[in-house]
Homo-oligomer: A and B are copies of this chain.
Amino acid sequence: MVKQDLSAELISIGSEILLGHIVNTNSSFLSGKLSGMGIDVFYHSVVGDNPSRLSIALKNALKRSDIVITTGGLGPTVDDITISTISKALSRPLMLNRNIAESIKRHFKRRHIKMPSICTKQAFLPKGALAIENTVGTAPSSIIEYGNKTIVALPGPPRELIPIFEKGVIPYLKRKYKIRSIIFTRTIRTTGLPESAVNKKIKRFLMMGGPVMTGIYARPGEIDVKITAKAEDKKKALARIEKIKRRLLGILGDTVYGFDDDTLEAAAGRLLIKKRMSLSIAESCTGGLIADRITNVPGSSRYFDRGIITYSNKSKIAELGVDKELIKKYGAVSRPVALAMAKGMLKKSGSDIAIAVTGIAGPAGGRKKKPVGLVYIALARKGKALCVERHFAGSRRDIKNQTATAALALIMGTDTYFRRK
């Protein structure tokens, strides 16, 4: 391993974090990115919107860490104190940054909103600070060199922080500290097996010591297998990972749908493009969530034709041609109705595959024979249809999430399922 002994420290600013009004996702995001570059993160701290406490935290951090990253407190309001506090702590007067002033003006112009006068405050930075472009918001992110230390001030909202850190800060740190990335991770993403089954299959890899670590991380309906390697350089790390990865793929077989940041919805999309198939979706209990996930994938209009959310029985009959008698006889949450919904959707849309779900998301509406969490997921293709029954636990949202994941897994498994039939 490269020994660079580089350390970073995170200071999150905002009383709303200390009081638990928002979750501080930035620390984890930044830790991950920093440790991935081989930079040790030894301290996380959170302070409120209080200049004197922030000033103490800043000075302590500058004593013990090479890189100090602050998040939050860059907005235009009176409780946004980060920049003024850094300015005082470092004795670097605030100066107008013309680029930032222009960028803030552009931001409001693009959104067709008149620029509020208090936003001019955001164009001031401590003397010598390097402004980093914020393409999403108006918060004036910046990098300040202070002796041999680096201070980075990032905005609190993750949707602003993430692109700024990735595009503006990482390249800067790599250049300045001559960092060669030394920790790599690849993720194998699987669906269709519970955590305990994946654990059993790959147990010997999990217990293996040495420079390559394998771990399991469970998400609802999905299991990730992560392979992490430490090495002197990228090439060596990747070679070590690849060796283990190939063996794991052999064991995990067709439960693997993708790698790294891949998603089930993106994998389903690729499959549909490959098979030149179009998809339509009829949703009851998921209420649009499956279509929402499908359409999170850029370019999903290539295969996703339409979705219908039939929340009422009336709409199941009118939109999907489900037989009224079928609902009466079996209930809206039943295998026959799920199948009728999928077949109705297929016929109506003329798409190649139709998915339909009906279930009880709760918290009310459960009965002994049909408890909360009971879900039917049907898949129809020309001349063929199948339906699976699932029992999920958790909140209304949990059940919606698990049902959507199972429906996407069913799309992934289309060929397998119909081949088996």
Contacts and interface: CB of A to CB of B under 8 A. Distances in A.
Contact of A226 (B16, B216, B362, B400): B16
Contact of A364 (B15, B299, B309, B315): B299
A414 interface: no
A112 interface: yes
A123 to B, nearest CB: 14
Nearest to A30: B20
A245 to B, nearest CB: 16
A301 B312 contact: yes
A192 interface: no
Given A44-B44, A118-B196, A362-B298, A391 B312 contact: no
A287 B301 CA distance: 10
B287 A292 contact: yes
Interface stretch (A87-95, A198-206, A266-274, A321-329): A198-206
Contacts of A299: 364
A216 B163 CA distance: 24
B312 A309 contact: no
Nearest to A36: B20
Nearest to A183: B19
Contact of A309 (B18, B75, B308): B308
Contact of A28 (B22, B111, B216): B22
Contacts of A315: 305-306, 349
Interface string A218-231: 10100010101000
A368 interface: no
Band of interface residues on A: 35 or more
B44 A20 contact: no
A398 B135 CA distance: 13
A70 to B, nearest CB: 17
A319 B136 CA distance: 35
Interface stretch (A56-64, A76-84, A144-152, A233-241): A76-84
A75 B218 contact: yes
Interface string A18-59: 111111110111111101100000001010010000000000
Contacts of A349: 315
Contacts of A207: 78
5 contacts: A20-B33, A20-B35, A287-B304, A306-B310, A307-B311
Interface of A: 15-25, 27-33, 35-36, 44, 46, 49, 75-79, 107, 110-113, 116, 118-119, 135-137, 157, 159, 183, 185, 187, 194-197, 199-200, 203, 206-207, 213, 215-218, 220, 224, 226, 228, 281, 283, 286-292, 294-296, 298-301, 304-312, 314-315, 319, 349, 361-364, 391-398, 400
